[in-house]
Structure 1
Amino acid sequence: MFVACPHCGFLVAAHGGTTLRCPRCGSPIDPKQAQPLPPAATAEPEAVAQADVAVETGTGTASEPAPEPAAVAVEKPRRKRGTHAPSFARLHAPAVVRATHWRSWLVVAGLALLLLVQVVLAQRDVLAADARWRPLVGSACTLLRCTIPAWREPAAFTMLQRSVQPKPGERGVLHVSASFRNDARWEQPWPTVMLTLSDMDGRQVGQRAFTPSDYLAQDRDGRIAPGQSATIQLDVVEPARQVVAFTFDFM
Structure 2
Amino acid sequence: MSEPNPPRRPLATFLRPAVEADAPSVPQGEEASPPSVQPPAVDAVVAVDEGASAAPIAMVAEVASPPDSPAAAGTAQEPVFLRRHGTQSQPAPRWQWPLVLMLGLLLLLQVALADRAKLAAQATSRPWIAALCGVLRCTLPAWHEPSAFTMTSRDVRPVPGQAGALQVQASIRNDARWAQAWPSLRLSLSDADGRVIGTGVFAPADYMGNSTVATGSIEPGQSAQVAFHVREPAASTVAFSFEFL
User: Could you say whether these structures have the same fold, taking a TM-score greater than 0.5 normalized by the shorter chain as the test?
Assistant: yes
Q: Can you give the 5+ residue segments of structure 2 that lack an aligned partner in the other structure?
A: 1-82, 85-89
| Residue aligning to 1:173 | 165
1:161 aligns with 2:153: yes
1:224 aligns with 2:218: yes
Matches of 2:154 and 2:214, distance apart in 1: 21
| Residue aligning to 1:137 | 129
Matches of 2:91 and 2:230, distance apart in 1: 80
- Scaled by the length of structure 2, the TM-score of the pair is 0.60
| Residue aligning to 1:110 | 102
1:201-232 deviations in whole A, cap 9, x for unaligned? Answer: 11111111111111112222111111000111
The count of aligned residue pairs is 157
Q: How far is the alpha carbon of 1:241 from its aligned partner?
A: 1.1
Matches of 1:140 and 1:183, distance apart in 2: 24
Matches of 2:188 and 2:146, distance apart in 1: 17
Residues 1-251 of structure 1: pairs in structure 2 closer than 5 A: 100=93, 102-218=94-210, 219-251=213-245
Matches of 1:233 and 1:124, distance apart in 2: 35
| Residue aligning to 2:36 | none
| Residue aligning to 2:66 | none
Matches of 2:218 and 2:197, distance apart in 1: 31
Q: Could you say what secondary structure the match of 1:179 adopts? A: strand
Q: How far is the alpha carbon of 1:234 from its aligned partner?
A: 1.3
Q: How far is the alpha carbon of 1:236 from its aligned partner?
A: 1.2
Instruction: Verify the 8 A CA contact 2:150 2:172 in the aligned structure 1.
Output: yes
Amino acid of the structure 2 residue aligned with 1:161: S
Matches of 1:241 and 1:169, distance apart in 2: 15
Matches of 1:206 and 1:195, distance apart in 2: 8
| Residue aligning to 1:67 | none
Q: Could you say what secondary structure the match of 1:208 adopts? A: strand
| Residue aligning to 2:19 | none
Q: How far is the alpha carbon of 1:242 from its aligned partner?
A: 1.0
Matches of 1:210 and 1:178, distance apart in 2: 13
Q: Could you say what secondary structure the match of 1:138 adopts? A: helix
Matches of 2:136 and 2:167, distance apart in 1: 48
Q: Could you say what secondary structure the match of 2:170 adopts? A: strand
Q: Could you say what secondary structure the match of 1:230 adopts? A: strand
Q: Could you say what secondary structure the match of 2:238 adopts? A: strand
Amino acid of the structure 2 residue aligned with 1:236: V
